[in-house]
Amino acid sequence: MTTTAPRTRGGTTAAMGALALGGFAIGTTEFATMGLLPQMADTFGMSIPTAGYAISLYALGVVVGAPLIAGLAAKLPRKGLLIGLTIGLALGNGLSALAPNAGSLLAARFLAGLPHGAYFGIAAVVATTLVPPERRGTAVARIMVGLTLANLVGVPVATAAGQRVGWRVAYLAVALIALVTALALARWLPRVPAARDAGVAAELRAFRRPQVWFALVTGMVGFGGMFAVYSYISPIATEVAGLPGGAVPWVLAVFGLGMTLGAMLGGRFVDRSVLGTVFGALAATGAVLALFGLTASSPVAVFGSVLVVGFVTQVLASALQVRLMDASPDAPSLASSSNHSALNIANGAGAWLGGLAISAGWGYASTAWVGVGLSLAGLAVAGASTLVDRRPR
């Protein structure tokens, strides 16, 4: 793939910043909904669990949209495609803010989720064209900084504003940020054409490679460990660690801080060894969750654990993104975008398995042990991928 990348450090930084801004908008709209469910439920006269379908349908949009858009749009210039995705993000959030009834809100959340995975996947591929090959991991991690800053700043601010002014203002703000991103991409992102032999068939060939599937399943299983705990972090913090309800936003902010540090620093590990970083991050996640399972009643342990888990899981996300692009060098967009479908599957599966442990009467802290099991399973899948790589061809 050829590109007219920026020739100055300032140009590269501006392009990276524009790509990261889109990640900030996506991260804010994805996670702010969780804090606004009571207000949305009141508006439309439905229960909070029913309002929770807004989260599920957004995740479904990510799972469907990532491979669909990346495959069908394989021949389009990357810059124009990214601008189109941010406009689609603005449209989905604008419709969410203006939804007159529950049905239209749920449909709008599905539409808002469609650009999510394709944006991150294609942005990661484009980012690697802006830097030398040995800095691919750092480039991908920089793109993810926007997502992590959303958890650190965007989500708390959007939630607080939504609770005081109304939940619709949060989605309007995201729509505005998405439009600003489109303008920033148009101004600073260089022209990046699609590969010469790009097409749906070429992109689909990526799924014929075992290492692509190994990387995706590693993400589905390994990330499930984090989501098994994170999905229930509020009752864990209040009912197990004894923290007041007002401390929960701080716990979430510390998690976002860990993710941000992982995005800022983790790229260096990926640059040194992609597969080594995958193994290290999964092992560290399992170890921290095991320690958390033993010390969950300690408020200090809660804050410390979410900080470290946020860090290592973000490092893992960057490593798997690069691993997928390496496994499918001639069709990276679809493979890279599918990573976010895998992570959203991990979101649902981890929360479900953690809920089973709680429903069985084992307590909220038992989700940590579910997380340990999923982290070990992710390590097993990653290990199997290395064995396949070493087989005689």
pLDDT number for residue 331: 66
- The listed range with the strongest mean pLDDT (171-175, 321-325, 339-343, 357-361) is 171-175
Q: Is residue 1 pLDDT above 50, yes or no?
A: no
Q: Residue 156 corresponds to which amino acid?
A: P
Task: Select from 385, 77, 389, 333 the least CA-distant residue to 204.
Answer: 333
Site of tokens 């089973």: 356
- Region 263-290: mean pLDDT is 90
Q: Is residue 291 pLDDT above 70, yes or no?
A: yes
Q: Is residue 333 pLDDT above 90, yes or no?
A: no
pLDDT number for residue 3: 43
Work out the end-to-end distance of the chain between its first and last CA atoms, rounded to an integer number of angstroms.
27
- The listed range with the strongest mean pLDDT (25-34, 50-59, 239-248, 363-372) is 363-372
Domain edges within the chain: 1-198, 205-393
Percent of the chain with pLDDT over 90: 38
Q: Is residue 57 pLDDT above 90, yes or no?
A: no
* Domain 1-198 matches domain 205-393 at the CATH topology level: yes
- What are 11-45's pLDDT values in tens digits? 788 999 999 999 999 999 987 887 787 788 889 99
Residue 283 CA to residue 306 CA, distance in Å, equals 16
- What are 99-112's pLDDT values in tens digits? 999 999 999 999 99
pLDDT number for residue 186: 95
pLDDT number for residue 196: 60
- Region 55-84: mean pLDDT is 87
* Domain topology for 205-393: Growth Hormone; Chain: A; (1.20.1250)
Q: Where does the pLDDT of residue 197 fall: very low under 50, low under 70, confident under 90, or very high at 90 and above?
A: low
Higher-pLDDT residue of 392 and 11 is: 11
pLDDT number for residue 2: 39
Task: Select from 25, 23, 59 the least CA-distant residue to 144.
Answer: 23
- The listed range with the strongest mean pLDDT (93-97, 205-209, 265-269, 323-327) is 93-97
* Domain topology for 1-198: Growth Hormone; Chain: A; (1.20.1250)
Task: Select from 220, 219, 227 the least CA-distant residue to 353.
Answer: 227
Percent of the chain with pLDDT over 70: 92
pLDDT number for residue 144: 82
Higher-pLDDT residue of 9 and 127 is: 127
* Sign of CA pseudo-dihedral 101, 104, 110, 113: negative
Q: Is residue 192 pLDDT above 80, yes or no?
A: no
pLDDT number for residue 33: 82
The H or E element spanning position 7 is none
Q: What is the pTM of this model?
A: 0.78
Least confident of 114-118, 186-190, 310-314, 336-340: 336-340
- Is residue 24 a contact partner of residue 125, using CB atoms and an 8 Å limit? no
Locate 33 and state its tokens. 């909904």
Q: Where does the pLDDT of residue 5 fall: very low under 50, low under 70, confident under 90, or very high at 90 and above?
A: very low
- What are 346-383's pLDDT values in tens digits? 877 888 888 888 888 898 899 999 999 999 999 999 99
Task: Write the secondary structure of 174-231 as one string of H (helix), E (strand) and C (coil).
Answer: HHHHHHHHHHHHHHHCCCCCCCCCCCHHHHHHHHHCHHHHHHHHHHHHHHHHHHHHHC
Mean pLDDT of the chain: 86
Q: Where does the pLDDT of residue 10 fall: very low under 50, low under 70, confident under 90, or very high at 90 and above?
A: low
